[in-house]
Structure 1
Amino acid sequence: MAFDIPRNQILPVDVVDVRLDPEPHPFERDNAEAIAANWAAEKALKPAMFDGTVVLLSELAYAENRLTGHCHAVRFSTFMLWRKLKPISSAEHSFAHAMLISSDNALVAIRMGAHTVNAGKVYFAAGSFEPEDFRDGLVDLDYNMAREVREETGLELGEARGEERCYALSGDTGTAIVRCYHLAETADEVAARIERFVAGDPDPEIEGPVIIRGMGDLPDNLMPHMRPLVEWHFSKG
C-alpha cells in the first residue's frame, strides 16, 4: 500500500482506519546513529525539547471516503531527523486538525511559542499522534483533537458542535485530517478565552490565538498546508 492518496486535494473522509503497529518503524531502525547525532545538534539549539514518543506512518491509502494506514511509535528525535530529511519514501506524518469556526464565521488558529519546534508558526491547535491516542490499536481522532486543543488553548471541544464528516489534505510528506467545530462565541470572545488561559499557564505551548477572517487576512508565518484549508472554508460562504 505504501502511500496511495491523492495529493493537494481536500478529500471527504467518513472512516479513518489508521492502526498502531507494534513493530519498530523501519526509518528509526535503520538510522540510529544519524538520529542520535541530529538530536544532539537540535538539543543544543533548543535545550527544552524532550525526546518523548510520537508516531510516524509507514502506510496510508485513500479510497471510497476511507483512510487506511499503519503507523509506529517512534522517539521525537526520530521525528526530528525525518523532518529534516523529508520526503522519505518509507515514512510520512499525519495529524488531526480541529478547525475552530466562530459564530461570526472566522477561523481561530494559534501561533506557537518561541521555545517550540514550530516557533512562530500559525496553524490550528494540533499535535502529532501519540500512543495514548489509540484505542485497541486504532487511532481516536476525537480524543487527540480534544487533548491537543485543551492543552494548547484551554478550550473544550465538547462545548462545540463537531461536524460528522472529516476531510483530509495530503502533501508530499504529510496528511492533515480535519474536523470542523462550530463555536457559539464570536472570534473575539474565543480569542479572549485563549489569551486568559495562556496568561495563567506557567509553561504555555503557544504565544496566543490568531483570528483569520478571510483570504485577505492571512497572518505571517502561516503553515503552507493552512492556506488551502482557509480558502476552502471561506469559499463555502
Structure 2
Amino acid sequence: MADEPVNVRTIPISTCALSLTDATWRFAEENAPAIDAYWRQASVERPKLFNGVIHLLSSWQLIEDTFVGTFLRTDFKSFLYWRETGYAETGVKDAFGSSLIRAADGAVLLGCQTEGNMNSGLAYPPSGMIDAADAGPNGIDIDAHILRELNEESGLRPGDLTRVPGYLVTLAGALVSIAIEWRSALEAEALRARILEHIHAQATPELADIVIVRRREDIDAVNVPPYARALLGRILRA
C-alpha cells in the first residue's frame, strides 16, 4: 500500500495571500551561459518547450490558516536548467496550483502528459507553472491560475464541478503544490470519458490520457510524483 512519502507533508489552509517582488533570481544571473547552452540543446530535443515568463516562490510562511507567499519573476529556460540539474538550493521553491478532481464515486482523476513535455511519463493532478497570465497588480491570483490550468488540460469549468472550500498545500522538497479539491456529479468512468473527449478534440493536447485512482493501492500502478502521492493518500484516507 502506498504511504505518504517521507519528508512530504500536506497542510489544509483556508486562504492564500500571494504577492510579487521585483527581486531578481541570482541563480539565473550567475548561471546564464550554462542556462543558454542547456536551453539550445533542450529546444532541439523537445521542440514543444517554450521559454516564457514564470514565477517562483521566493519566501513563504503560514500565518494561522493562511499561506502567505512572495513570488519572483524569471524565465522558463532558467527554471528548466535549475530543475533538471537537481534543484540546487537557491532560496526559491517550484510552486504551482493543482486540481484534485474527485468523481461522484470517490475516485480521483489524474492526467498523463503527452510526450515531449516537461512532465512526460508522470500521472498527476492537472496543474501548471505560475506564469505571466496569473500575475496582476494585486499579486498572484491562485484560484484563477488553477481554473485556467484545469480548463486547458481537462476542458472542465467551475459550472461542471463543486469547489471544496480551502486549499491543500503540499511541501515536497523544492516543490510546493497549492491544490483545490473539486467534486463532480459524474461517476469516474463518465467523467474520464468527458475529459478524453476534450483531449481528442484538441490539435495539441497537453494530456495524453486520464487515469482513475480509486484506492491507495492504485497509486503504485502509475508513476506519481511524491507531492501528488501525498495528496492522493490524504484524500483517499478521507
**Could you tell me the TM-score, scaled by structure 1's length?**
0.92
Q: Distance in 1 between matches of 2:158 and 2:27?
A: 34
Residue 147 of structure 2 aligns to a residue whose secondary structure is helix
What is the alpha-carbon distance in structure 1 between the residues aligned to residue 177 and residue 37 of structure 2?
29
- 2:18/2:141 contact within 8 Å kept: no
Pick 1 or 2: higher relative contact order, CA cutoff 8 A, min separation 6.
Answer: 2
Map 1:203-214 → 2, pairs under 5 A: 203-214=204-215
2:78 counterpart letter in structure 1: T
Report the Cα distance in structure 1 between the residues aligned to 2:139 and 2:123, rounded to whole angstroms.
29
What's the RMSD between the two structures over aligned residues? Answer: 1.5
Residue in structure 1 matched with residue 56 of structure 2 by the alignment: 56
Q: Distance in 2 between matches of 1:129 and 1:48?
A: 18
Of stretches 214-223 and 171-180 in structure 1, the one that deviates more from structure 2 is 214-223
1:103-122 superposed matches below 5 A: 103-122=104-123
Contact 1:27 1:91 (8 Å CA) reproduced: no
Map of 1:4 onto structure 2: none
What's the CA shift for 1:158? 3.3
User: 1:157: which partner in 2?
Assistant: 158
Amino acid aligned to 1:27:
F
Structure 2 match to 1:230: 232
2:175, 2:227 within 8 Å by CA — same for their partners in 1? no
Q: Which residue of 2 aligns with 1:189?
A: 190
- One-letter code aligned to 1:161: T
SS at 1:193 equivalent: helix
Alignment of 1:1-237 (within 5 A): 8-84=8-84, 85-218=86-219, 219-236=221-238
Identity %: 23
SS of match in other structure, 1:127: strand
| CA distance in structure 1 between the aligned counterparts of 2:9 and 2:118, rounded to whole angstroms | 27
Aligned residues: 230
Identify unmatched segments of 5+ residues in structure 1.
1-6
- 8 Å Cα contact 1:87-1:172 kept in structure 2: no
What amino acid sits opposite 2:129 in the alignment? S
The CA deviation at 1:29 is 2.5
The 8 Å contact of residues 8 and 226 in structure 2, kept in 1 or not, is answered as: no
Contact 1:149 1:157 in 2 (8 A): no
Partners of 1:66 and 1:226 in 2: CA distance = 21
Distance in 1 (CA, whole Å) between partners of 2:229 and 2:173 is 16
User: Structure 1 residue 13: deviation in Å?
Assistant: 1.4
Deviations 1:19-74 (A, max 9, x none): 12233222222221121111112122212211111111211222312212211221
User: Take 2:74 and 2:132, find their aligned partners in 1: how far apart are those partners?
Assistant: 10
Counterpart CA distance in 2 for 1:123 and 1:114 is: 15
Distance in 1, matches of 2:48 and 2:124, equals 22
